[in-house]
């Protein structure tokens, strides 16, 4: 039997009996689409989840600073160092800060100490800034050297009795600062009790203010933390003299997030695997039923001189066509899902990865078709002609 | 035609069967269905086999078509011993030498007339562009060329049987084995099919073995045999 005939006859068979097959095809298509989406979007989705999983703590935020020893008092980070850190693969953003400790006496006469942090624009991306009140105003570009402040929710709560504090003023070193926003109380850690003012304002107006000796760095995903952190000292030392360097990571939280992510991934992959296994079992059942209901057809074909291999090839080809077509449809679904999701989360998964997944998906489908169709086809080919013809 | 057969064609019979026997074992024991059948059929001959139900007529046809192995005896087709062919050669024999018309006129459902006739050609590895010619020629012999792309399920009973005959003819076999080809047809359609059969064998290149219950069908054959108690008698 020629290959072109085999293909033509098999496809014809599938098309004419599509009602018998579409359930199985749907299962395989869904499995393929899921597989393609998860793999293609995996990294981008992780970055997105990452933002939300900040709930679990600041797992991807790394704090880099100089140990406060008398001899190293005047250590600071150079701009070139900051740039070098930002360029590291797996780093989302890094922010250079200056700080000082300050305290404010509120209207009831109670004194509150807090940390005052002068931050650049990148800081908001690093700490995952989303305002509880007020709006995201870029400190540096819009407020160069201006007296504006954003408060941590803890600090806002202790300083003011009211809820709505945007527009209130704050006196720091006899200057009045306008509060433009309050951070959302999510995964901030000790930043809850900080006040943030523009980097330039802090350097101009606050005295004493520290050197720019603290960098907050944020990794793309929790998986990157492991890879990025050991390289940080090297990168810094390549660009400047840095004795007493400290890198602080919330390892506990990284571990916790990773284990959650691992379970989630396991769940997703096992559901895809389950769908595919289901598809395989579906092919098996459908093909067994087809062999049984087409017993007479098989007998007839053998009486016409079809060899055993031809019968076997035909049923096998039908099973493979079935799973291949389903997988092709799944790839299309996957393409749509990937396009929509990447539009939603504004990311750009690589085309190579997508095509690679499609290839793998199609290969798996062919394998599935062969594996699940093998036994039914073998049974069909082994059938005795006369009993097949006499079969009612 | 294969040269191996060609020399024998002029002097020997197409089919030569000697002391052919067949028994089935059915769990409780062995039952003898055919007990030493001998028969010769020449090219261009139309032979009828009659006999009561269960006498083994279908069994005999299946053995002639190499669908069933015989228990003992000899079977020469154009002088070649075909009982001991390998499985692949048996399939090849069926592809090129024999055309079957079965008792319950099986067509491939959900297929057109054309597709039904195409399968024997597919298995015989005939080029795709050459197939329509063979198919139309076969259909013309049963006067159904105008139903070329008709769905098989929508044919009348008589038409179905004629398509089954055309399908048996499409590979230009030397013998057509027909198991009650008119059994499910009314008188008029039965006569029509027999007319086609007469025309087919009149070319002298095809023989035919027809199993039938109908004496009128048997009357139109060159020779009539009856199978009883496992033995074949010429009437
Ligand atoms: N595989 C088998 N195992 C056991 N017995 C069988 C088998 N096949 C057929 N038989 C028996 O062999 C006998 C002959 O069967 P066959 O079909 O050849 O009869 P037939 O002459 O064609 O009958 P009918 O005219 O009803 O078609 C029957 O009694 C049948 O039950
Ligand atoms: Mg019979």
Domain ranges of chain A: 3-51+257-389, 60-249
d(CA A368, CA A365): 5
Q: Go through A268-306 and write b for each residue having 16 or more CB atoms within 10 A of its CB, e for each that does not.
A: eeeebeebbeebbebbbebbbebbeebbbbbbbbbbbbb
CA of B229 to the centre of ligand 2 (A): 15
Nearest residue on chain B to A296, judged by CA atoms? Answer: B106
Is residue B78 helix, strand or coil? Answer: coil
Question: Quick one: tokens of A219?
Answer: 């990794």
Which of B82, B117, B123, B126 to probe the A interface (max A CBs under 10 A)? Answer: B123
> How far is A316 from A375, CA to CA, in rounded Å?
9
- The closest-lying atom of ligand 1 relative to the alpha carbon of residue B62 is 18
- Ligand 1 atom closest to Cα of B60? 18
What pLDDT score does B174 carry? Answer: 92
Whole-angstrom Cα distance, residue B163 to residue B118?
Answer: 12
B38 close to B234: Cβ distance less than 8 angstroms = no
- The minimal CB distance from B120 to the residues A4, A17, A305 is found for A305
**How far is B64 from A125, CA to CA, in rounded Å?**
86
pTM summary value: 0.74
Q: What is the pLDDT along chain A (392 residues), one digit of tens a residue?
A: 788 999 999 999 889 888 888 888 898 898 889 888 888 887 777 766 666 665 555 778 899 998 866 665 568 899 999 999 999 999 989 999 998 888 888 777 888 888 999 998 888 888 776 677 776 666 665 567 888 898 888 888 888 877 788 888 888 888 889 888 888 776 667 788 899 999 888 888 888 888 888 999 988 888 889 999 999 999 999 999 888 899 999 888 888 888 888 888 888 888 888 888 888 898 899 999 999 988 989 999 999 999 999 999 999 999 999 999 999 999 999 999 988 988 887 777 778 888 988 999 899 999 999 999 999 999 999 988 888 888 76
CB A302 within 8 A of CB B106: no
* Rounded Cα distance, B138 and A117, in Å: 95
Is A305–B100 a contact, with Cβ atoms under 8 angstroms apart?
A: no
Tokens at A234, concatenated? 């090297």
List the residue whose alpha carbon is closest to atom 25 of ligand 1: B53
Pick the closest to residue B152 from B196, B111, B207, B201 (CA basis).
B111
Ligand 1 is surrounded, with C-beta below 6 A, by B 24, 26, 33, 51, 53-59
User: What is the pLDDT, as a whole number, of residue B167?
Assistant: 93
Judge whether B231 is closer than 8 Å to chain A, CB to CB: no
The pLDDT of residue A135 is 66
Chain A CB within 8 Å of residue B30 CB: no
Cβ atoms of residues A275 and A268 within 8 Å: no
B16-66 residue pLDDT tens? 999 999 999 888 889 999 999 999 999 999 999 999 999 999 999 999 999
CA-closest residue to ligand 1 atom 27:
B53
The Cβ-side half-sphere exposure at B126, using a 13 Å CA radius, reads 19
Which DSSP state fits B144? -
- At residue A217, the 3 state secondary structure works out as strand
- The CB density around residue A159, as the number of other CB atoms within 10 Å, is 19
Q: Are A370 and A319 in contact (CB under 8 A)?
A: yes
Tokens coding B14: 């197409």
Separation of alpha carbons A236 and A244, rounded Å: 12
Q: CA A376, A382, A387: angle at the middle one, nearest 5? A: 110
Parallel, antiparallel or unpaired: strands A194-198 and A111-119: parallel
Rounded to the nearest angstrom, the minimum Cα separation between A22 and chain B is: 18
B100: chain A residues, CB-CB within 8 Å: 303-304
> Cα Rg for chain A, rounded, in angstroms?
32
* CA A100/CA A192 separation, integer angstroms: 16
Give B119→chain A minimum CA distance, Å.
8
Give the distance from residue A371's alpha carbon to the nearest chain B alpha carbon, in angstroms: 26
Distance from the B39 Cα atom to the nearest Cα atom in chain A, whole angstroms: 22
State the best of B122, B138, B170 to mutate against chain A, taking most chain A CBs within 10 Å: B122
Given the DSSP bridges, would you call strands B15-25 and B72-77 parallel, antiparallel or unpaired?
antiparallel
Kindly state the tokens that stand for A44.
């981008």
- Specify the 3-state DSSP secondary structure of B63: helix
ipTM value for the complex: 0.90
Query: What protein residues have CB closer than 5 angstroms to ion ligand 2?
Result: B 58
Distance in Å from the first CA to the final CA of chain A: 27
Give the SS3 label for residue A220: coil
Q: Report residue B164: phi and psi, to 5°.
A: -60, -40
Residue B5 CA, distance from chain mean position = 19
**A350-380 per-residue burial string, b: 16 or more CB within 10 A, e: under 16:** eeebbeebbeebbebbbebbeebbbebbebb
Residues of B in contact with A4 (CB under 8 A): 128
Contact B112, B150 (CB under 8 A): yes
DSSP letter string over B162-177? HHHHHHHHTT--SEEE
Q: Mean pLDDT by 10-residue block, N- to C-terminus, for chain B (235 residues)? A: 46 88 89 92 93 92 93 92 91 92 83 94 92 93 89 89 91 92 83 88 90 91 93 89
* CA-based nearest distance B13→chain A, Å: 23
CB of A17 within 8 Å of a chain B CB? The answer is yes
Q: Say how far residue B7 (Cα) sits from the centre of its chain.
A: 24
Mind listing the domains of chain B with CATH numbers?
A: 3-234 (3.40.50.300)
Atom of ligand 1 nearest to the CA of B59: 18
Residue A2 touches chain B, beta carbons under 8 Å: yes
CB pairs under 8 A between A and B: 64
Within an 8 Å CB–CB cutoff, is residue B108 touching chain A? Answer: yes
- Put residue A328 in one of left, alpha, beta given phi > 0 → left and psi -120 to 50 → alpha: alpha
Check residue B3 and give its pLDDT. Answer: 42
Give me the residue from B62, B88, B119 closest to A301, CB to CB.
Answer: B119
Q: Where is A183: in which H helix or E strand?
A: strand A175-183
Interface of B with A in 77-106 (CB under 8 A): 87-88, 91-96, 100, 102, 106
Mapped onto helix, strand or coil, the DSSP state of residue A98 is: strand
Residue for token digits 């926003």? Answer: A181
Cβ atoms of A319 and A24 closer than 8 Å? no
Q: Please tell me the predicted confidence (pLDDT) of residue A54.
A: 57
Cβ–Cβ under 8 Å, residues A244 and A214 = no
| Buried-state track A230-243, b at ≥16 Cβ within 10 A, e below 16 | eebeeebeebeebe
CB burial of residue A329 (10 Å; 0-12, 13-18, 19+): middle
Per DSSP, what are the bridge partners of residue B203?
A: none
Extract the tokens encoding A227: 């890879």
């Amino acid at each position: 039997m020629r290959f072109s005939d085999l293909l033509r006859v098999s496809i014809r068979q599938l098309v004419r009996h599509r009602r018998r097959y579409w359930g199985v095809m749907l299962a395989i298509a869904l499995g393929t689409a899921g597989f393609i989406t998860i793999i293609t979007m995996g990294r981008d989705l992780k970055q997105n989840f990452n933002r939300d999983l900040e709930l679990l703590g600041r797992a991807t935020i790394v704090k880099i600073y100089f140990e406060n020893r008398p001899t190293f008092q005047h250590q600071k980070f150079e701009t070139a160092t900051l740039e070098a850190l930002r360029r590291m693969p797996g780093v989302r953003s890094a922010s250079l800060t200056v700080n000082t400790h300050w305290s404010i006496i509120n209207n009831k006469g109670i004194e509150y100490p807090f940390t005052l942090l002068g931050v650049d624009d990148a800081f908001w991306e690093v700490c995952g800034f989303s305002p509880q009140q007020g709006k995201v105003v870029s400190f540096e570009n819009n407020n160069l050297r201006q007296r504006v402040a954003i408060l941590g929710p803890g600090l806002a709560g202790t300083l003011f009795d009211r809820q709505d504090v945007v527009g209130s003023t704050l006196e720091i070193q006899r200057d009045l600062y306008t509060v433009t926003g309050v951070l959302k109380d999510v995964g901030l850690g000790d930043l809850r009790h900080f006040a943030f003012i523009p980097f330039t304002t802090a350097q101009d107006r606050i005295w004493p203010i520290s050197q720019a000796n603290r960098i907050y760095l944020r990794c793309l995903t929790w998986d990157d933390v492991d890879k990025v952190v050991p390289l940080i000292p090297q990168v810094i030392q390549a660009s400047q003299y840095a004795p007493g360097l400290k890198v602080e990571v919330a390892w506990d939280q990284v571990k916790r997030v990773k284990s959650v992510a691992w379970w989630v991934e396991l769940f997703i992959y096992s559901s895809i695997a389950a769908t595919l296994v289901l598809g395989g079992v579906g092919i098996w059942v459908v093909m067994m039923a087809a062999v049984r209901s087409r017993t007479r057809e098989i007998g007839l074909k053998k009486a016409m001189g079809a060899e055993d291999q031809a019968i076997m090839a035909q049923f096998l080809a039908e099973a493979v066509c079935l799973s291949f077509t389903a997988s092709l449809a799944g790839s299309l679904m996957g393409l749509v899902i990937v396009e929509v999701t990447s539009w939603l989360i504004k990311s750009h998964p690589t085309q190579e990865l997508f095509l690679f997944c499609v290839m793998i998906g199609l290969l798996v489908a062919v394998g599935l078709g062969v594996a699940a169709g093998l036994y039914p086809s073998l049974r069909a080919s082994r059938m005795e002609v006369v009993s097949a013809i006499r079969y009612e | 035609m294969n040269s191996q057969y060609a020399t024998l064609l002029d002097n020997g019979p197409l089919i030569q069967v000697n002391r052919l026997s067949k028994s089935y074992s059915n769990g409780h024991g062995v039952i003898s269905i055919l007990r030493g059948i001998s028969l010769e059929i020449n090219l261009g001959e139309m032979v009828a086999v009659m006999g009561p139900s269960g006498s083994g007529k279908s069994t005999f046809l299946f053995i002639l078509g190499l669908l069933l192995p015989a228990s003992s005896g000899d079977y020469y087709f154009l002088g070649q011993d075909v009982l001991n062919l390998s499985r692949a050669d048996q399939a090849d024999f069926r592809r090129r030498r024999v055309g079957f018309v079965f008792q319950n006129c099986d067509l491939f459902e959900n297929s057109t007339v054309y597709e039904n006739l195409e399968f024997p050609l597919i298995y015989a590895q005939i080029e795709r562009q050459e197939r329509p010619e063979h198919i139309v020629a076969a259909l013309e012999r049963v006067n159904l060329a105008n139903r070329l792309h008709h769905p098989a399920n929508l044919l009348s009973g008589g038409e179905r049987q004629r398509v089954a005959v055309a399908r048996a003819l499409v590979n230009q076999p030397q013998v057509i084995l027909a198991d009650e080809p008119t059994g499910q047809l009314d008188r008029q359609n039965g006569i029509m099919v027999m007319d086609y059969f007469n025309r087919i064998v009149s070319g002298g290149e095809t023989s035919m073995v027809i199993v039938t219950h109908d004496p009128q069908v048997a009357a139109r054959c060159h020779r009539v045999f009856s199978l009883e108690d496992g033995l074949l008698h010429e009437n």
